[in-house]
Structure 1
Amino acid sequence: MPLIVLGLNHKTAPVDIRERLTFGPDVIVAALRTLLEQSSADEAVIVSTCNRTEIYCATADGRDIEAPVRTWLGQFHGIEPQLFAQHLYAHKDRDAVTHLFKVACGLDSMVLGEPQILGQVKGAFKTACEAGGSGRLLGRLFQCTFAVAKQVRTDTAIGSSPVSVAFAAVSLARQIFSDLSKQTALLVGAGETVELAARHLHQHGIGRIIVANRTVERAHRLAVQFDGYAIALTELASHLPEADIVVSSTASPLPVLGKGTVERALKQRRHRPMFMVDIAVPRDIEPEVGQLRDVYLYTVDDLQGVVDEGMRSRNHAAEQAVEIIDLHCEEFMAWVRSLDAVSLIQHYRARAECVRDEALSRAARQLAAGKPPNEVMRHLAYLLTNKLLHEPSVRLRQAGREGQSELLDAANELFQLSQGQDSGRR
């Protein structure tokens, strides 16, 4: 099978190498076209994200194009191949199919089971189609990939369990507040964990998001991504009564929320419950806040147990996903193997049709010359039978003389000759 994937990811290459070999949306169409021109690939799809760059190529005649693709990759980015060669991996044929299935299902991601990669793979395939890079083989492969990923999402719990502190925090919030669309979240800090929490909250339909940070400009950059608004850290106490959910993760050496501030906020809220998550180390929220009624306070240690359990659940789901992947991989490979038979059948039928057309033409001339139709029909039947069976008969006799029992057995199986003999005897 003429299929190869050449790539690198967060496991094999540091970020500075990944950055230099990425394909942005403004260049990927041009990249696909030059790849097809310069590498001798007949089909190509490029998957490029912050954590991976992968080039999927297929050829009609099965030639090895790994070296040309490596050369093209370096030339396109203006990098000497020896600078990134050690970070590349190459998978061919069945291994390439399995790899793509795992990538799309989130089994090869930094966060096991993360769903964003499937959308990125779909986008890459769509771009390849628009650029003329996808043909029969890759078209079938990527459609199968999307079906496999859908089944894995449906039949396993690969994406349902929290495997990050931010995800765990939002999962707990959803348990406490069944309808997040009516709730307000106050996020303290603007770092990676807070951004991830904001993303999860937004995806689950949170009503409002407020971002508080020492630098208001940074808070604003984060808030606008999720239709929220920003406040300064000094405004925290005045906005706290609005918050049903508080997620805090700053680098402050001292708590930014004390027991007294939270008590006053609860009075203004008329003791409506407040869910608070302190992800910071050292802590942002005084431990005594957890003693207050109507406050559900969780620290990073409390959430770690949820994360560990979620990881165990996803690992189990990943094992189930691999079983699904193996099954569909074999189905795809069976389809690929059938392509050789399709080509053979087409050639065989074309030859038979040529014999038929020649025999019909001769019969038409005989009829035009006045020969009796019955005689012409008998001659036509004889001619067709003789022409179609002559070469196979000669080859079978030769196989018998040379003791090629495998060929004789194959012919017997192909034409069901034993079955025909049995029918004749009956």
Structure 2
Amino acid sequence: MTLLAVGINYNTAPVAVRERLAFPADVLDITLKNLRNVRDISEAAILSTCNRTEFYCHTSSDDQAALINWIADTKIIKPAEFTPYLYSFKDSQSIRHMFRVACGLDSMILGEPQILGQMKTAYHAANQAGTLGRNLSKLFHHTFSAAKKVRTDTAIGSSPVSVAFAAVQLAQQIFDKLSDQTALLIGAGETIELTARHLYQHGIGRIIIANRTYDKAHALATQFNGYAIALNEIPNHLAEADIVVSSTASQLPILGKGRVESAIKKRKHKPMFMVDLAVPRDIEAEVAQLPDVYLYTIDDLQNAVNQNMDTRRRAAEQAEEIIDTQVEHFLSWLRSQGAQETIRDFRTQAEITRDEVLQKALVQLNNGTSADEVLQRLAHTLTNKLIHTPCVQLRDAGANDRHDLIAASREIFKLR
């Protein structure tokens, strides 16, 4: 039996290929059931995100041809159009790959935590579809345990590695409760959207989004229960803002020293935290001279992000060591499964012997034999029956110079 992991990701395939191999959540159930019906595949799960699609299978063969043909037929795409972008892992390398993915070590942003949630979603989908068996189910649970250990024992996820998140984390250090604060976000691009998302997830009290195009500001504000304004309305709302984050493509400053100074007076010198993520700058540098204003530029935050990336890289090295150990633990479990059938048969045989001897002992008691005598006979008979076959086999091993079998027996029975 083989554990197989086959997939594509942001490193190996362009988005034009990745989108063709994506599996929406609403089709996963029937897709998984169809996948498990493929020849040689007994267990299956699919991880599908914007950055990767991966297939995890327990198969009776290490031949990927059946899986590749199924992918081609299911997605109506020729194998030649996606196989150059595929990577595949088997057995111990499959285990290691799943652990690394769940820990964020294979992510576009090193150590990002979202992939673990996506891995759990893949597990629940496969579990619901009934396509998991003992091996893949155990592997997923071990994967989650390994990821938890990495997060607990290293600093892989403790430091922000995007300027947007770094800005929000800095705001948390300045203000006791974000839920009491109002954030004014200037711009409507990717950076402002990411900032809005982080603020919203951290419970910001109120979001105002200002943009040159009001419709874009309104579309973004709607996602986060915010309020949209045009750029020319900023003077009317600036004093409301405890947090200001600006990221536009303007060639001239959006906020000057005088405008911010007026807002501070209206706020009765209540502190204002400002982050300028634009190049050229949206906020005049002189604003930093104002009392009660904490102004940070993209360079200030980028330095922090670079330091944090170094921290994550060092943590990733620790994580790899943890993963090495966890892979060996899972492989030990897998190896132990080969003995399970023998253990069950041995236990069943012993229980049959026990029941036979016990039944004879009960008959003797019913016939009036004393309990002491019955117990003595039961112990003697049970001992002889349990050791009879091993003793016969050991004698034969000695007669046939099977010293390896004799040595193994001493180890199994812990004989000194």
TM-score by length of 2: 0.88
Residue 423 (structure 1) aligns with: none
Q: Confirm or deny: 8 A CA contact 1:153 1:159 kept in the other structure.
A: yes
Residue 52 (structure 1) aligns with: 52
Q: Deviations over 1:76-104 (max 9, x none)?
A: 11111111112111112122122212211
Matched, 1:197 2:234: no
Q: Deviations over 1:14-40 (max 9, x none)?
A: 111111111111111111011001243
Residue 113 (structure 1) aligns with: 111
Q: Which amino acid aligns with 2:44?
A: A
Residue 411 (structure 1) aligns with: 409
Distance (Å, rounded) in 1 between the aligned partners of 2:270 and 2:298:
24
Name the SS of the counterpart of 2:37 in structure 1: helix
Counterparts of residues 162-173 of structure 1 (less than 5 Å): 162-173=160-171
Pair 210,65 (structure 1): closer, same or farther in 2 beyond 3 Å = farther
Q: Confirm or deny: 8 A CA contact 1:258 1:285 kept in the other structure.
A: yes
Q: Deviations over 1:190-241 (max 9, x none)?
A: 1111111112212222111111112222222222222212112222221111
Pair 359,298 (structure 1): closer, same or farther in 2 beyond 3 Å = closer
Distance (Å, rounded) in 2 between the aligned partners of 1:383 and 1:301:
80
Residue 38 (structure 1) aligns with: 38
Q: Which amino acid aligns with 2:123?
A: F
Distance (Å, rounded) in 2 between the aligned partners of 1:2 and 1:168:
43
Match of 2:242 among 241, 244, 247: 244
Matched, 1:181 2:192: no
Name the SS of the counterpart of 1:26 in structure 2: helix
Q: Confirm or deny: 8 A CA contact 1:237 1:261 kept in the other structure.
A: yes
Distance (Å, rounded) in 2 between the aligned partners of 1:128 and 1:404:
47
Matched, 1:281 2:287: no
Name the SS of the counterpart of 2:41 in structure 1: coil
Shift of 1:13: 1.3
Counterparts of residues 303-314 of structure 1 (less than 5 Å): 303-314=301-312
Identity across the alignment (%)? 57
Q: Which amino acid aligns with 2:340?
A: V
Shift of 1:350: 4.3
Name the SS of the counterpart of 2:34 in structure 1: helix
Residue 328 (structure 1) aligns with: 326
Between 1:381-390 and 1:245-254, the stretch displaced more is: 381-390
Distance (Å, rounded) in 2 between the aligned partners of 1:215 and 1:196:
18
Distance (Å, rounded) in 2 between the aligned partners of 1:159 and 1:200:
15
Q: Which amino acid aligns with 2:334?
A: V
Q: Confirm or deny: 8 A CA contact 2:182 2:204 kept in the other structure.
A: yes
Q: Which amino acid aligns with 1:184?
A: T
Q: Structure 1: give runs of 5+ residues left out of the alignment.
A: 420-426
Shift of 1:188: 1.0
Residue 208 (structure 2) aligns with: 210
Residue 262 (structure 2) aligns with: 264
Count residues with an aligned counterpart.
409
Counterparts of residues 363-402 of structure 1 (less than 5 Å): 389=388, 396=394, 399-400=397-398
Shift of 1:311: 0.8
Q: Deviations over 1:266-287 (max 9, x none)?
A: 2221222111111111221222
Distance (Å, rounded) in 1 between the aligned partners of 2:39 and 2:167:
48
Residue 230 (structure 1) aligns with: 228
Pair 260,383 (structure 1): closer, same or farther in 2 beyond 3 Å = closer
Distance (Å, rounded) in 2 between the aligned partners of 1:298 and 1:196:
18
Q: Deviations over 1:287-321 (max 9, x none)?
A: 22222222211111111110111111212222222
Q: Deviations over 1:44-88 (max 9, x none)?
A: 1111111111111114xx432522222212221111111111211
Q: Confirm or deny: 8 A CA contact 2:238 2:263 kept in the other structure.
A: yes
Q: Which amino acid aligns with 1:76?
A: T
Between 1:145-154 and 1:26-35, the stretch displaced more is: 145-154
Q: Confirm or deny: 8 A CA contact 2:353 2:382 kept in the other structure.
A: no
Shift of 1:387: 9.8
Shift of 1:353: 5.9
Distance (Å, rounded) in 2 between the aligned partners of 1:297 and 1:416:
71
Name the SS of the counterpart of 2:147 in structure 1: helix
Shift of 1:245: 0.9
Distance (Å, rounded) in 1 between the aligned partners of 2:125 and 2:201:
25
Matched, 1:10 2:5: no
Between 1:196-205 and 1:350-359, the stretch displaced more is: 350-359
Distance (Å, rounded) in 2 between the aligned partners of 1:124 and 1:48:
8
Name the SS of the counterpart of 1:276 in structure 2: strand
Between 1:99-108 and 1:302-311, the stretch displaced more is: 99-108
Residue 295 (structure 1) aligns with: 293
Shift of 1:354: 6.6
Q: Which amino acid aligns with 1:172?
A: L
Pair 261,13 (structure 1): closer, same or farther in 2 beyond 3 Å = same
Q: Confirm or deny: 8 A CA contact 1:5 1:91 kept in the other structure.
A: yes
Shift of 1:110: 1.1
Shift of 1:165: 0.9
Pair 225,39 (structure 1): closer, same or farther in 2 beyond 3 Å = farther
Q: Which amino acid aligns with 1:41?
A: I
Pair 181,322 (structure 1): closer, same or farther in 2 beyond 3 Å = same
Q: Which amino acid aligns with 1:34?
A: N
Q: Confirm or deny: 8 A CA contact 1:41 1:65 kept in the other structure.
A: no
Shift of 1:163: 0.9
Distance (Å, rounded) in 1 between the aligned partners of 2:121 and 2:385:
56
Q: Which amino acid aligns with 2:161?
A: V
Shift of 1:397: 5.6
Q: Confirm or deny: 8 A CA contact 1:4 1:58 kept in the other structure.
A: yes
Pair 82,412 (structure 1): closer, same or farther in 2 beyond 3 Å = same
Report the RMSD for the aligned CA atoms in angstroms. 3.0
Residue 24 (structure 2) aligns with: 24
Name the SS of the counterpart of 1:42 in structure 2: strand
